[in-house]
Structure 1
């Protein structure tokens, strides 16, 4: 089962952020709480940690793109390796 990576709440008046940098690429192994992506706003720069361990399965927003709070950034597949086709 995949775990979604979403833009967290960034502050009371902040509604959007720009994806600054991805620290991992698709297929990389991830540990829980490891920083995955850096988001930049006019007030703060924040790192979004992994909600769980697994493999970075998908990146849906590229560096430099603007996203709203709650937007899907990517997903993590369960386990230490990408799922093999059946």
Structure 2
């Protein structure tokens, strides 16, 4: 079963974020805690770590897209 990567809340008043860039491609192996992507808000740009180790199965939000906090942005198959 895949693990969902969720758009995190980057502050109490921040309701959405923009994916600035992905550091990996679909099919790449990632390690839990390793920076997976960079997101930006009107307050800060920050790296989001992979929640688990595994293979990046699907990217659901492309670079340049803005989505609400809590949106599933990618799937990782744990391994």
- For the superposition of Structure 1 and Structure 2, which TM-score range results when normalised by the shorter chain? over 0.9
Select the structure that is richer in strand.
2
Q: What RMSD over aligned residues (CA atoms) do the two structures have, in Å?
A: 0.7
Number of residues of Structure 1 aligned to a counterpart in Structure 2: 79
Which structure 2 segments of 5+ residues have no match?
Answer: none
| CA deviation string 1:18-66 (max 9, x = no partner) | 1100000000001110111110011101111011100000000000000
1:62 is aligned to 2:58: no
2:37 alignment partner in structure 1: 37
Is structure 2 residue 42 aligned with structure 1 residue 50? no
Q: Counterpart in 2 of 1:18?
A: 18
Moved over 6 A (4+): none
* Partner SS, residue 75 of structure 2: strand
Secondary structure of 1:77 counterpart: strand
What TM-score does the superposition give when structure 1 sets the normalisation length?
0.89
Of structures 1 and 2, the larger Rg is shown by 1
